[in-house]
A and B are shown apart, each in its own frame.
Chain A
Amino acid sequence: MKLKPGSLPWLAAHDLTLSWRRFLDMFGRLAPLATAGICLGGTIVLHLVAWRIMLLLPRLRPELGNAASATGAVFVLFVLAWMTAQGLLGMARTLLERGNMDLMLASPLPVPSILASRLASMVIGSVGSVALLALPLANMAAILYGPAWPAVYPTLLALAVIGTLGGAAVAIGLFLGAIRAAYGRSRSYVRR
């Protein structure tokens, strides 16, 4: 399927292409088949580790007792804080690295589309940074303890959206505050 140039999915696909190529670069000059083999092997190893960890879960449950829910909440808060940090960092980079945004903003695309695509890429990046470790655990738990565990997937996405947008909003606020402070101060000695 060919995406419509200039559309939000097209812009997001562009960002994903760049991210994918940067990821592939980590494998140097390896052949595509060898790269795929390493990725598959890594995924299997992560799932085996997750399998071992999840086997310990029934033993931990009685010990945690009533603290089980609190432990889950702490985990969710930790992930949210991580994703907020990702959002803050991503937006700060977007605002400070002039080249890429200049190129996009000089084009006739509507500014909201450009910013939305940037935020979508940041959300995907945030999900990816946690999914690598969290999803093997969720997959193994789903096999061992029932179908409720795949709920981790939408939960992770929701946390990424909330965290990333929150972090991005904080970065924009700080940026505008800094500009206002510097600009407000400078107005007093602007040459008239």
Chain B
Amino acid sequence: MRAGSRADGRSGAVAASASALQLRSLRKAFATRVVDDLDLTVRAGELYALLGPNGAGKTSTLRMVAGLLPPDAGGIEIFGIDALADPIAAKRITARLPDEPMLYDKLSPIEYLEFIAGLWGVEASRAERNAQELLDILELAPHRHAPCEGFSRGMKQKVALAGALIHDPLLIMLDEPLTGLDAGIARQVKDLLSARARAGATIILTTHILEVAERLADRIGILDRGRLVAEGTLVELSAQAGRGSSSLEDVFLAVTGQGTRAA
């Protein structure tokens, strides 16, 4: 399903006024400014794809939202909670899956999920139920007691994804969740994300695979040099980018100037 049509189809279910994430004039600099007065709003219940060339500030933005990187200036609000003033409350309802997921090789998937559930204070019975459900959906149940060290990258990614979802977060941030996965595992992950979004979770994902954003996302935001240079459904983005920009790739290259840079 394409970005525009999916958003239209869910307009009744999603309260358009309620925002899951609001970034106001967010700023972060290291050697150069990586996030530059970023204003971004993600609506509750939508699947938002954050795109951008390497170094555009996607990962830094998600790290600031997750409370791992203090912004230099600006505000972060997650479901109405000021994440800078009350980070613990914000973290309770948030999950982040990094591009290089952290797994403990010596733990089995079930032990890993128990540990993550413990970190988020999930009640034992609920944690057990959620773990069982996630392991079944991701077809990890036969490996539930095997140490993760022998797993392929795809299996590790699935365990890490299950860890991110074990506490039923309202806001799920995924940094390149499909990189390096084979088609079968990528399909399982995409199906799970779509199901979570249908169930009401808000998902923000960064990806370099534009086809994924095109198929899954309700709305797409494109970052370049720390700034939001374009945002909207695929139809809206195509209109913004102008003539001849029918695919997301065309739009992406047009708004980031990469097409002209390459030429």
Q: Residues on A close to B: CB < 8 A?
A: 5-6, 10, 14, 17-18, 21-22, 25, 99-100, 102-110, 182-183, 186-187, 189-191
Complex interface residues of chain B between 89 and 132 (CB less than 8 A to chain A): 89, 91-92, 94-96, 98, 100-102, 104, 106-107, 115-121, 124
Q: Is the CB of B33 within 8 A of A190?
A: yes
Q: Is the CB of A99 within 8 A of B119?
A: no
Contacts of A10 in B (CB 8 A): 118
Q: Is the CB of A6 within 8 A of B68?
A: no
Q: Is the CB of A106 within 8 A of B33?
A: no
Assess A5 versus B117: contact at CB under 8 Å? Given A106-B91, A191-B36: yes
Q: Is the CB of B88 within 8 A of A110?
A: yes
Q: Is the CB of B88 within 8 A of A103?
A: no
Q: Is the CB of B67 within 8 A of A106?
A: yes
Contacts of B107 in A (CB 8 A): 17-18
Asked whether any CB of chain A lies closer than 8 Å to the CB of B29, the reply is yes
Contacts of B95 in A (CB 8 A): 106
Among residues of A, the one whose C-beta sits closest to the C-beta of B67 is A106
Q: Is the CB of B67 within 8 A of A105?
A: yes
Q: Is the CB of A107 within 8 A of B102?
A: no
User: Which of A25, A99, A108, A183 sits near B98, CB closer than 8 Å?
Assistant: A99
Most B Cβ at <10 Å: residue of A14, A104, A189? A14
Among residues of A, the one whose C-beta sits closest to the C-beta of B89 is A108
User: Which of A22, A103, A107 sits near B106, CB closer than 8 Å?
Assistant: A22
Q: Is the CB of B92 within 8 A of A18?
A: no
User: Besides A6-B119, A182-B31, 13 other CB < 8 A contacts?
Assistant: A5-B118, A5-B119, A5-B121, A5-B124, A6-B118, A99-B100, A102-B98, A103-B102, A103-B116, A104-B119, A106-B91, A108-B120, A189-B32
Q: Is the CB of B31 within 8 A of A21?
A: no
7 A-B pairs within 8 Å (CB atoms) are namely A10-B118, A18-B106, A99-B101, A99-B102, A106-B66, A106-B95, A107-B116
Q: Is the CB of B32 within 8 A of A191?
A: yes
Q: Is the CB of A186 within 8 A of B31?
A: yes
Contacts of A187 in B (CB 8 A): 29
Contacts of B88 in A (CB 8 A): 108, 110
Contacts of A183 in B (CB 8 A): 30
Contacts of A189 in B (CB 8 A): 31-32
Contacts of A25 in B (CB 8 A): 106
Q: Is the CB of B68 within 8 A of A106?
A: yes
Q: Is the CB of B120 within 8 A of A107?
A: yes
Most A Cβ at <10 Å: residue of B67, B92, B95, B117? B67
Shortest Cβ distance from residue B254 to the other chain A in the assembled complex, whole angstroms: 23
Q: Is the CB of A14 within 8 A of B36?
A: no
A100–B95 Cα distance when bound, in Å, is 15
Q: Is the CB of B96 within 8 A of A106?
A: yes
User: Which of A21, A102, A109 sits near B102, CB closer than 8 Å?
Assistant: A102
Among residues of B, the one whose C-beta sits closest to the C-beta of A106 is B66
Contacts of B30 in A (CB 8 A): 183, 186
Contacts of B104 in A (CB 8 A): 18
Most B Cβ at <10 Å: residue of A99, A100, A103, A189? A103
